């Protein structure tokens, strides 16, 4: 083992890709409400909780909205989203991610999930990783979402590893800020690697093996 004892992975956009399902589900709600919604707006929802995502979707909504309506729309979005997640399978876990995770496990690293999603366990089971991780910290055990560090601090706690010995892997700017605020180094992948605020910028997932 090298610099770190544990790796904490964001789920959506890092381990697998659920953007298109979030997009379809939010688009259905937005269309119903007559609100403009596109993929650029959808990208702003990365790492953001479900209710905060709805607030972003409703930025262009004209008129007042009650809390009950918001809760209903978020619930409806989630029902559509979960229906779409049901289409996911082990095919949605890439060979690159699977083999990198196996190598990290063989190298003795403790591995955890740190995700804002309340559907994290369902997604992991769909892609065949239901029992793989040593700990899961997700939208169900936090009260503040990224960029607050709570989700990662809890993941480190569940693993029993000091934050300074954990590396976080993230695809969202809010997630990188969360890792830093929690005193953790962070590897950015995807669009987040363009922000240049992470400890490392990865071109490919398997580059992780070079930095741990």
Q: Give the CB-side neighbour count of residue 42, counting CA atoms within 13 A.
A: 17
Query: What residue 171 binds from Mg ion, ligand BG6, none (CB within 5 to 8 A, per partner kind)?
Result: Mg ion
10 binds Mg ion (CB under 5 A): yes
Instruction: Answer yes or no whether residue 169 interacts with ligand BG6 by CB under 6 A.
Output: no
147 binds ligand BG6 (CB under 6 A): no
Among 5, 138, 171, 185, binds Mg ion (CB under 5 A): 171
When CB distances are held under 5 to 8 angstroms depending on the partner's kind, the choice from ligand BG6, Mg ion, none that residue 139 binds is ligand BG6
Of 45 and 135, CB closest to Mg ion:
45
Is residue 13 within the footprint of Mg ion (CB under 5 A)?
yes
Q: Which of 9, 183, 23, 178 is nearest to 110 (CA)?
A: 9
CA distances from 52 to 4, 9, 211 (A): 32, 21, 33
**CA separation for the pair 115, 184 (Å, rounded):** 15
The alpha helices in 107-207, defined as continuous H runs, are: 120-126, 150-159, 173-181
Note the Cα 86 to chain centre separation in Å: 18
Residue 83 CB, nearest distance to Mg ion (Å)?
A: 21
Is 114 a binder of Mg ion (CB under 5 A)?
A: no
Q: Which residues bind ligand BG6 (CB under 6 A)?
A: 11-12, 22, 45-50, 53, 78, 115-119, 139
């Amino acid at each position: 083992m090298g610099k770190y004892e544990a790796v904490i992975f964001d789920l959506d956009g890092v381990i697998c890709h659920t953007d298109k399902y979030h997009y379809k589900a939010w688009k259905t709600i937005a269309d119903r409400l007559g609100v403009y919604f596109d993929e650029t707006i959808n990208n702003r929802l990365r790492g953001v909780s479900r209710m905060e995502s709805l607030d972003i979707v409703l930025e262009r909504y004209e008129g007042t909205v009650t809390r009950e309506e918001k809760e209903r729309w978020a619930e409806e979005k989630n029902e559509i989203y979960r229906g779409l997640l049901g289409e996911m399978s082990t095919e949605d876990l890439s060979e690159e991610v699977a083999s990198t995770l196996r190598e990290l496990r063989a190298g003795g690293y403790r591995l955890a999930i740190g995700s804002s999603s309340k559907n994290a366990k369902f997604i992991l089971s769909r892609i065949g990783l239901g029992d793989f991780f040593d700990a899961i910290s997700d939208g169900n055990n936090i009260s503040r979402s990224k960029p607050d560090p709570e989700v990662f601090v809890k993941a480190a706690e569940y693993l029993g590893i000091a934050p300074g010995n954990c590396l976080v892997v993230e695809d969202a700017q809010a997630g990188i800020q969360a890792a830093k605020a929690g005193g953790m180094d962070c590897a950015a992948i995807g669009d987040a690697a363009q922000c240049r605020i992470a400890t490392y910028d990865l071109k490919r997932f398997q580059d992780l093996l070079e930095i741990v």
